[in-house]
Chains A and B, each alone.
Chain A
Amino acid sequence: MHPPTKFSLLDAEGQEKQFPPDGPVLLALVKEDCDTCNLTLPLLEAVHRDTDQGLDVWVAVQKRDDIDVLKDRHDLTMPLLDDDALDLSYETDIDTVPTLFLYDEEQNCTLQTFGFDKHEWREIASESMTLAGRPGVETSIDWESLPEQRPGCGARNYEPGVYERLQALKSGDLLSRLVDLASSDDIHEFMYDQGYTDGFPVVPPTRERVWKMLQGTTRDPQDEVAIVPPNLAPITVEKVAINAVMAGARPEYLPAIIALVETACTESFNIHGVLATTMGATPVGIFNGPIRDRIGMNYLHGALGSGNRANAAIGRALRLCARNVGGSVPGGTDRATQGGPHRLTMNFAENEDASPWDSLAVEYGFEPTDDVATLMAMSGGPATIADERSRDGRGMAGTLAMSMSCMQDPKSPMVDTLVVLSPDHAGIFGRSGWSKDDVRECIMEETAIPLKHRLRSDDAGAGLPPSVVERFGGEQALDYPVPKFQDKSNIILVVAGSSAAKFSTILGGWAAGVYSTPTSARIGTDGALEIRGRSGAGMDKRRSGGKDLGAFEPRIRRG
C-alpha cells in the first residue's frame, strides 16, 4: 500500500480533479458492495461537513456505476471520484477497502488505515479537524454507536482476472506489438488469416493471458531464449509465452516449453533441418522425472495421443514458436513432402514405474530426480507393433526386429529409431531378465541381412550404392550380414502407455538420424539448466563425415 502523490480522476459531474489539492486532504478508496465501506461512508461525509472546507475529503469509487448509487444511498455531498479503470487503486496497490490516507497541508501522508478500526478512524477524524484549523473540536460522529472493528473487503483491483488485467496493462512487462482487431473481426478467423495458427484454432494471446503465463517462470520476459531458424529470429521469454498461450498451455508448463525451445535451437538438435526437410520430420519430446506428475502429463492410456493438455500443448507450443517466430511454414521453408499428424504435436512422458530399466534420461546421464525433456527428430510412424503371443525376451525382440527391418524401405539402413514399448511388452523383457542392450543386440542380429540385399537393384531402387562393396573388401563382402541399424545405441527404448494390451509403437528417425542428435534438457524454473546432445552414437561420427548414403559405414558382423 503506497500513498499516492499525484493523480487525476473525474468526479461524478465529469470534472477533472487533480491530486493533490491545495491544503490538507483525506482520501478514501471504496467499493459499493462492501459492508464496511457502507458503514464508513457516512463517517467520511461527517468529516467533510464538520471540517467545513478546511480540508478536502475525496472518495474514489472502484466502479463508475456505483458512484450515483452510493451518493443516493448515503446522501453524500463530498466529491466521489471515478476509479473505474482502477488506475489509482493499482498505483496505491491497495488490497482492502475502505483504505484511508490523510495528508497534511504540505501533502505529506501522516496517517493511513484500512478496514474499520474505531480507534484509528477516530484519530484520523480528530487529526482532520486539526488540519482543518479546528483543533480540539469533536466531529459530529456518534462513535459510541459504532462497532470497535470491522474487517474491510477485498479491493476490486485484486479480484481474480482483474489483477491479471491490471498487471498486463500497467506492469510494463509486455513489449510485443499489440495487434488491433476491428469490431467486425472474428478473432479465430483473423488469427488464421494472419498465418498464426497450425490450422486448428488457437487461444487468443491477450495481454492478460500472456502476463498470467509469464507467472510460470521467474525469468525476465525480455530475456532472449534462443535464435530460431530458419529466419534466425531471436525469441524472448515473452514470445515463448505468447505462443504457449496460443497452444493452450498452462503457466506451469512454461519452463518446459522454454527448455524445449532452447534445446530445439541447438546445433545438436538442428531444428532448422528438422523442419525444413522434405522428409517431413518433427521434434518429438519425451519427458522424464518428477515434472511428469507435477504438471499432469499422461503416460498411461493413450499416452502418445490426444486427451491430455500438458502432452498436447507443450509440443504444440514448440511448433508454434518455430512457425511464428522462426518462420517455418509448410510450403515456405518447411518443405515436407507429406508430413504427418504428429507434426501438430508429439510429446509424451515415459511410464517410468512400468519400465524394468533405467529411464531414458538416466540412460543419457541424468539423475532420476531430474526433470528432463529429450527431443528427437522423427519422421516415420507412429507405427503399431502388435504381439500378443510372445512370452519371453527372445520372442519379443524378434517381433520388434522384424517390424523394424522394413522401416523406410527394407533395404536402407537406419540410424535413430524410437521404440515406445507398452508396459506389457516391456514387462516381458523384465521377466526374462533382458537389459536394454540385450534387446538392442538381438535386434541388430535379427535385422542383419547380407550386404547384397541392401544394395540398390533394378527390381527395387532404394538401398546402398554399389560403391560400398569395395569399401568392405570387394565381392566377398556381399554375403556379410549387415544390420538395419548403424549402432545399437540408435535403437532408443522407452516405455509409455497403460497395461491395457500388448501393443507398442515405433517411430523412425529423420534421414537416418544423421543431421539431428537426440538432445536433452534438464528443466529448471527458468528453462533449461543444462542441455546435452547424446554422445557415442553413430550419428555423431556422421556429422563430420559425408552426407551421402554411400559414406554409410554399416557395422558388419562377420560369421
Chain B
Amino acid sequence: MVTQILDPTDERVPIKRQLTPRPEALHGTIALLDISKPRGDVFLDRLEQLLHERAPGIETKRFMKPTVAKPAPQPIKDAILEECDFVIEALAD
C-alpha cells in the first residue's frame, strides 16, 4: 500500500487538508450527528435547544451512526451532504 509519495510541486504550498472556510453566520439546516457514544443524545438535545434559541430560523436534523466503531455509512454522509448546510458531530462521551 502506498503511504508516502514525493511532492510533484514547487513546494510553496503546505500539504494539508484545508478546512472549509468559516461561514459568516449560521443559516439553513444543521445536521446533528450522534456517533452512538453514550449520552451523545443528551449533549445534542441541549445543543439543538440552544441553536434554536440563539439562531432562530435555522433547521436541525438528527442523524446517528449505527456504531461508534466504524465510519459513518455512505448513505448517512450523502444525506448530510445533500440535505444540510452544516454538521455538528458529537464525538465523545
Contacts and interface: CB of A to CB of B under 8 A. Distances in A.
Interface of A: 174, 176-181, 183-184, 187, 191, 194, 196, 204-207, 210, 228, 231, 233-235, 238-239, 242-243, 246, 320, 324-325, 327
Contacts of A187: 2, 5
Q: How large is the interface on B (under 10, 10 to 19, 20 to 34, 35 or more residues)?
A: 10 to 19
Contact of A206 (B4, B7, B9, B71): B4
Interface of B: 1-12, 15, 71
Given A177-B15, A179-B15, A196 B2 contact: no
Nearest to B1: A183
Contact of A179 (B7, B10, B12): B7
19 contacts: A176-B7, A176-B8, A177-B6, A177-B7, A177-B11, A178-B6, A180-B3, A187-B2, A204-B2, A205-B6, A205-B8, A206-B4, A234-B10, A239-B8, A320-B8, A324-B9, A325-B8, A325-B9, A327-B10
A246 B8 contact: yes
Contacts of A234: 10
A226 to B, nearest CB: 12
B6 A194 contact: no
A179 B2 contact: no
A382 B11 CA distance: 35
A242 B12 contact: no
Nearest to A228: B10
A178 B8 contact: no
A168 to B, nearest CB: 9
Given A174-B6, A183-B1, A183-B3, 11 more contacts: A176-B6, A177-B6, A178-B5, A179-B6, A179-B7, A179-B15, A206-B4, A233-B12, A242-B6, A246-B8, A324-B9
B41 to A, nearest CB: 27
Contact of A181 (B5, B7, B9): B5
Nearest to A190: B5
B4 A181 contact: yes
Residue with the highest number of chain A CB atoms closer than 10 Å, among B6, B7, B71? B6
Q: A174, A176, A179, A183: which has the most chain B beta carbons within 10 Å?
A: A179
The majority secondary structure among interface residues of chain A is mixed
Contacts of A210: 6
Sorted nearest first, the 4 A-B pairs with minimum C-beta distance are A233-B10, A177-B7, A324-B8, A176-B6
A210 B8 CA distance: 11
A187 B2 CA distance: 7
Contacts, number: 68
Nearest to B6: A176
B2 A206 contact: yes
A43 B1 CA distance: 40
Nearest to A188: B2
B3 A181 contact: yes
Contact of B12 (A174, A184, A231): A231
A231 B4 contact: no
Contacts of A196: 8-9
A233 B13 CA distance: 12
Contact of B8 (A183, A228, A242): A242
Contacts of B10: 228, 231, 233-235, 239, 324-325, 327
A419 B54 CA distance: 69
A242 B4 CA distance: 13
Most chain-A Cβ atoms within 10 A of its Cβ — which of B6, B8, B15? B8
A194 B7 CA distance: 10
A178 B4 CA distance: 6
Contacts of A184: 71
A205 B8 CA distance: 8
A546 B8 CA distance: 38
B15 to A, nearest CB: 5
A184 B9 CA distance: 23
B19 to A, nearest CB: 14
Nearest to B7: A177
B6 A180 contact: no
A228 B2 CA distance: 29
A243 B8 contact: yes
Most central of A174, A194, A234, A320 by chain B CB within 10 Å: A194
A320 B7 CA distance: 12
Nearest to B15: A179
Nearest to B3: A181
B16 to A, nearest CB: 10
Contact of A194 (B1, B12, B15, B71): B15
Contacts of A233: 10, 12
A358 B77 CA distance: 62
Nearest to B9: A324
Contacts of B71: 184
Nearest to A235: B10
A181 B6 contact: no
Nearest to B18: A193
A239 B6 CA distance: 9
B11 to A, nearest CB: 5
Nearest to A174: B6
Contacts of A239: 8, 10
B9 to A, nearest CB: 5
B8 A206 contact: no
Contacts of B6: 174, 176-179, 205-207, 210, 238, 242
